[in-house]
Every structure is written in structure tokens, then in C-alpha cells.
Amino acid sequence: MTGRWITANLKPMPEPTQSPTVELLEGLATTRAIRRYTDDPIPDDDLAKILFAATRAPTGSNRQNFRFLVLRDGEVATAAKRLLGESFRTGWAEKRSTDGYEAGSGQDLSSPKARMAATMQHFVDNFERTPVVVLPCIRVRHGGLIDGASIYPGCQNLLLAARGLGYGGVLTGWHSPVEADLRELCAIPEDHAIAATIPLGRPQGNHGPVRRRPMSELVFDDVWGGDASWAIEPSGTQHTQAGPKPT
Ligand SMILES: Cc1cc2nc3c(=O)[nH]c(=O)nc-3n(C[C@H](O)[C@H](O)[C@H](O)COP(=O)(O)O)c2cc1C
């Protein structure tokens, strides 16, 4: 009955212009942070599809108080990428030292830690060559989490659409130290925050299953810590122990 009601009352969905390249649920579980890109440009029509997905994301009360500033190879974009590149190199140098990337297993060049450090170094050293950098901006209304809730869904839509079209990127926060300079350079209004910096390009590596902690540690039933016995992961799910153990 319910199904018939839905069928009778919904307008038919428009035919997709192009079949999706990655099934939705598969894409959600296999969109990795991609930090190494080829020099291939992102053609305008693909970039349009990626930004279309970003701008279809939800915002509070559908205010759509988000804006996506796309940096390609114009004069201002080149200067902004340079500014960002310097900031990223400083950000990574600090993280490399404070997080002890060279200590312990990091001394073994084949360890995951050392390989991650090498990827990060490559990422920041080549930042200016990134084909496209997107600055997702949000008009500041309440501040903090509530404003973030109206921009980060768009960021994830953008990354998922990029993955669907064979590209990759990563949400980063290393623009913060140069946010004021960027705002001036790119004429971003004072009442808008730059919520992230998202570099995009054709991956040198591959997307693939992301590793997170077991779902049983992250999903509770009824009460905090309550065992959600129904929350069973797909077989073969791989895990990471990264981050502090959730309580
Ligand atoms: C809020 C947030 C901030 C992040 N900031 C940075 C950053 O400044 N630099 C960076 O290289 N990656 C950054 N990342 C990317 C994460 O490191 C990455 O998504 C995470 O390690 C998972 O990687 P995976 O999806 O490939 O498993 C950030 C991610 C989020 C959600």
C-alpha cells in the first residue's frame, strides 16, 4: 500500500545524463584521501559535475550560504596556490615533528608511518602543481559546529563526485594561518569563513576501501556504549587502530 502511494505521488525521476561510474554505497566506503596527483587537468565538464554535486548538498533551512571558490591556473589562483603551498609546507613540517613521524617505526622506510610521511612530503612539495584547489566558504552565522554543518556535507559531496569521475582529493585545514591573506587576495567577504582547502586531481595512486575502527566501537544502541548487535559490517572489512580508542 505504502509503496503504491509513493509511486502514485512522486514525480518521475529524470533520467541520469550519464550512468554513475561507481555505485553509491561502494563509493562511500572507498573514497580515500588522495594527496598525489598526475598533471592531467580536470576538464570543464567534469569540474562542472563535481561542483554541481557540491552545490546540491543540504544546508540549514536551505539557505545555501555556501560558496565554492575554484582555483585553477589564473593569475589570482596561481598566487593563492603559492600562498597555500607555503602554508601547507609549514603545517606539515610542524605535524611531522610533533607527531614524531621519524620516530619508532617511522625509521623503517617501508613502514606505513614512513610511507605516509613520504606521501605528505610529496603532497606539500608539489602543492602548487595541484590541478584544481577548491576553497569551500560559509557565511558565518552562529559559528562553530552549526556553521560547519552547512558546508561539510557539500565538501563530502564534492569529494564523492570527484571519486565517481575518476579523480581524488582531500579535505585539509592548513590554509588557516593564511586565511586572512587568502581572503584579501581572492576578495572573499569578511563574513565568510574558508572552511577547508580541497585539492583535486587525477590520482597517482588508487582509491580503495577506507580503514576505520570496527563499527562496534563507533555505533551504540540505546545507551552510550550499548552493544548494537545488529550493526554488522560487510565481511572482509579492514580496520585501523588509528586515533585514541573511543570510550
Ligand atoms: C576535519 C578534517 C581535517 C583534515 N585536515 C587535513 C589536513 O590539514 N591535511 C591533510 O593532509 N589531511 C587532512 N584531512 C584528511 C584526513 O587525514 C583523512 O581524511 C583521514 O586520514 C582518512 O584518510 P582515508 O579516508 O584515506 O582513510 C582532514 C580530514 C578532516 C575530516
159 CA distance to ligand 1 middle (Å)? 12
| Model confidence pLDDT, tens digit, residues 114-148 | 999 999 999 999 999 999 999 999 999 998 999 99
Mean pLDDT of 217-235: 97
Every domain of the chain and the residues it spans: 21-210, 212-247
pLDDT of residue 11: 52
Nearest CA to ligand 1 atom 7: 172
Give the fold, CATH level 3, of 21-210.
Answer: NADH Oxidase (3.40.109)
With a cut of 70, say whether residue 4 has pLDDT above it. no
Instruction: Report which ligand 1 atom has the smallest distance to the Cα of 240.
Output: 27
Secondary structure of the chain in HEC code, one letter for each residue: CHHHHHHHHCCCCCCCCCCCCCCHHHHHHCCCCCCCECCCCCCHHHHHHHHHHHHCCCCHHHCCCEEEEEECCCHHHHHHHHHHHHHHHHHHHHHHHHCCCCCHHHHCCCCHHHHHHHHHHHHHHCHHHCCEEEEEEEECCCCHHHHHCCCHHHHHHHHHHHHHCCCEECCECCCHHHHHHHHHHCCCCCCEEECCEEEEECECCCCCCCCECCHHHHCECCCCCCECCCCCCCCCCCECCCCCCCC
Residue 18 has pLDDT above 80, yes or no: no
| pTM of the entire predicted model | 0.90
* Shortest-distance atom of ligand 1 to CA 31: 25
Which ligand 1 atom is nearest residue 173's CA? 8
Dist. CA 19 → ligand 1 center (Å): 29
For 159-208, the pLDDT digits (tens) are 999 999 999 999 999 999 999 999 999 999 999 999 999 999 999 999 99
**Ligand 1 pocket, residues with Cβ under 6 angstroms:** 32-33, 170-174, 210-211
